[in-house]
């Protein structure tokens, strides 16, 4: 059997294992190990297993992942979400659909201190969902806006998924965090525009709020100072090179822990909960990271990624069409898979394909641009039917809104996502300018 055939069969077996609910990390590890043995021999596998896991987990750069997750968990316990929502609502609540826009603003603010989408959606949902419903917002818009707003948790740095992407394509985490900033702001703007269009066309979906005074506006900003301070400290610190990401993440986690204890009245139980939540996600991610390493070693031996890449570049498709095709594949996969596994499984295959194509930019720039675009498309998977994790979470919180309504509520935001991805593909400088300016 040719190496290529083994690679193909390995991949098919992997997908089959995923379909029958074998945990993703376990499936990747199993296929990776068996494939590795087929391509080399048993001794080679036994040899790398002796220390591979040890050295990989010991990697200093990876410690940033649990630390950022801990920071996000603390943020969820710090009860900052109420203040954030109130603050944004004071500022923009008086527009038509203003409270929904405020929810987006709150999600964006929360996303700036939390690197996880589900946590953002759940935390903001807790606060904003009852308020939206009480003020007469339709169930579809109320749940849709929060599910979509949750994706800002990952689109706006810090972002755990982006860190993993950086590891996969061997990019600099700092650079990717810088690059994600402007696209993240575009996402916020896009969602707000989506809301204003929707409530203009269907005015019964959401009302306008009351006007507030300048004094109230100022007070609201004062209330959210911990968010602003920690964001400036952590992200500013990374952007301007005061901290390594790991240092920034630990400082952020400690600062957020203190805020959670002081403002959120987090006590020992809350602390344990936050740490255990972090433990579960960390273990899941590291198992997948380790498995991805073995799997990619195997796929590398089969030359499958290289052959695919040659096939693509020899196919006569223009580089742009290949990029579009890859984005499309990610969107389809995102309907069933979670963002992290998609990045770890498919980015190592797609990146070599793109790397050799001519997009009129350097490989370094291409890497940044592609990572951000990938981040955007895999995040759409959180709100696309049939499996949109964010939509599930928010919908279950709402209780009296049907799944169909929630997915309908998400549609305007999905359209906004598509437009944003189109903009970012057409104007790569939007992504590349900030890393360049801050260099």
Binding site for another protein (CB under 8 A): 18-27, 29-30, 33, 46, 49-51, 53-54, 57-60, 62-63, 66-67, 70, 246-247, 250-251, 253-254, 257, 271-272, 275-276, 278-284, 286-288, 336-338, 340-341, 386-387
Cβ distance to another protein smaller for residue 24 or 312: 24
Question: From the CA atom positions of the chain, what is the Rg in Å?
Answer: 22
User: What are the residues facing 208 on neighbouring strands?
Assistant: 96
Contacts of 411 (CB under 8 A, 6+ apart): 144
- Indicate the residue among 337 and 398 with the shorter CB distance to another protein: 337
178 vs 281, beta carbon nearer another protein = 281
Helix 389-398 to helix 139-150 angle (10° resolution) is: 140
Q: Please, what is the minimum distance in Å from the beta carbon of residue 75 to another protein?
A: 14
Residue 255 Cβ, how far from another protein at the closest point, in Å? 8
The residue among 82 and 246 lying less far from another protein, judged by its C-beta, is: 246
Smallest distance from the beta carbon of 143 to another protein, in angstroms?
Answer: 20
Q: How far is the CB of 284 from another protein (least distance, A)?
A: 5
φ and ψ at 159, to 5 degrees?
Answer: -150, 120
Residue 354, CB-side half-sphere exposure with 13 Å CA sphere? 30
Spatial contact of 274 and 77, defined as CB atoms under 8 Å apart: yes
Provide the token pair at 34. Answer: 């068996």
Residue number with CB closer to another protein (276 or 356): 276
The DSSP secondary structure of 325-360, one letter per residue, reads: HHHHHHHHHHTTS-HHHHHHHHHHHHHHHHHTS--S
Distance CA 430, CA 423 (A): 9
Buried/exposed code over 154-171 (b: 16+ C-beta within 10 A; e: otherwise):
bbbbbbbbbbbbbbbbeb
Cβ closer to another protein: 137 or 330? 330
Question: Which letter, b or e, does each residue of 41-52 get, where b requires 16 or more Cβ atoms within 10 Å of its Cβ?
Answer: eeeebeebeeee
Q: How far is the CB of 72 from another protein (least distance, A)?
A: 14
* Least distance in angstroms from the C-beta of 438 to another protein: 21
Question: Residue 247 Cβ, how far from another protein at the closest point, in Å?
Answer: 6
Q: Are 237 and 157 in contact (CB under 8 A)?
A: no
Give 27 or 421: the residue with its C-beta nearer to another protein.
27
> Would you state the torsion angle of the CA atoms of residues 241, 247, 253, 257, taken in this order, to the nearest 10 degrees?
-100
Q: Quote the CA–CA distance of 117 and 69 in Å, as a whole number.
A: 11
Residue whose CB is less far from another protein, 107 or 255: 255
Nearer residue to another protein within complex by CB, 59 or 362: 59
Q: What is the DSSP string of 354-367?
A: HHTS--SS-HHHHH
Q: How far is the CB of 417 from another protein (least distance, A)?
A: 21
Shortest Å distance, C-beta 225 to another protein? 20
- Based on CB atoms, which residue is closest to another protein, 29 or 124? 29
- Least distance between another protein and beta carbon 289 (Å): 10
The terminus-to-terminus CA distance of the chain in angstroms comes to 50
């Amino acid at each position: 059997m040719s190496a290529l055939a083994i690679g193909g069969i390995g991949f098919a077996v992997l997908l089959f294992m995923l379909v029958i609910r074998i945990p993703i990390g376990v499936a990747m590890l199993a296929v990776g190990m068996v494939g590795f043995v087929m391509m080399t021999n048993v001794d080679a596998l036994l040899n790398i297993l002796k220390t591979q896991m040890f050295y990989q987990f010991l990697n200093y750069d990876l410690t940033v992942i649990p630390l950022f997750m801990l920071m996000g968990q603390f943020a969820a316990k710090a009860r900052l979400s109420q203040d954030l929502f109130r603050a944004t609502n004071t500022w923009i609540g008086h527009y038509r659909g203003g409270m929904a826009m405020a929810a987006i603003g709150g999600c964006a603010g929360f996303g700036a201190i939390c690197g996880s989408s589900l946590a953002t959606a759940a935390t903001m949902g807790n606060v904003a969902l009852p308020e939206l419903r009480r003020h007469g917002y339709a169930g579809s818009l109320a749940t849709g806006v929060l599910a979509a707003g949750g994706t800002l948790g990952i689109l706006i740095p810090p972002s755990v998924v982006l860190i993993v992407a950086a590891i996969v394509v061997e990019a600099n985490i700092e650079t990717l965090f810088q690059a994600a900033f402007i696209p993240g702001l575009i996402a916020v703007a896009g969602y707000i525009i989506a809301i204003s269009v929707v409530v203009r066309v269907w005015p019964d979906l959401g009302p306008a709020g009351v006007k507030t005074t300048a004094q109230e506006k100022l007070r609201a900003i004062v209330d959210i100072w911990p968010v602003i301070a920690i964001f400036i400290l952590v992200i500013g610190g990374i952007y301007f090179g005061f901290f390594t990401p790991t240092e920034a993440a630990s400082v952020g986690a400690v600062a957020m822990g203190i805020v959670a204890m002081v403002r959120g009245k987090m006590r020992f139980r809350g602390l344990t909960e936050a740490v255990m939540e972090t433990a579960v996600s960390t273990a899941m991610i590291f198992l997948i990271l380790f498995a991805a390493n073995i799997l990619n070693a195997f796929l590398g031996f089969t030359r499958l990624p290289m052959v695919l890449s040659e096939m693509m570049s020899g196919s006569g498709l223009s580089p742009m069409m290949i990029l579009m095709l890859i984005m499309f594949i990610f969107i389809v996969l995102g309907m069933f898979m979670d963002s992290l596994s998609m990045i770890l499984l498919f980015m190592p295959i797609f990146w070599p394909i793109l790397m050799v194509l001519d997009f009129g930019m350097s490989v370094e720039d291409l890497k940044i641009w592609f990572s951000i675009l990938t981040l955007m498309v895999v995040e759409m998977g959180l709100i696309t039917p049939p499996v949109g994790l964010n939509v599930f979470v928010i919908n279950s919180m709402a209780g009296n809104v049907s799944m169909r309504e929630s997915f309908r509520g998400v549609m305007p935001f999905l359209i906004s996502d598509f437009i944003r991805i189109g903009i970012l593909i057409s104007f790569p400088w939007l992504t590349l300018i900030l890393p360049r300016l801050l260099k």
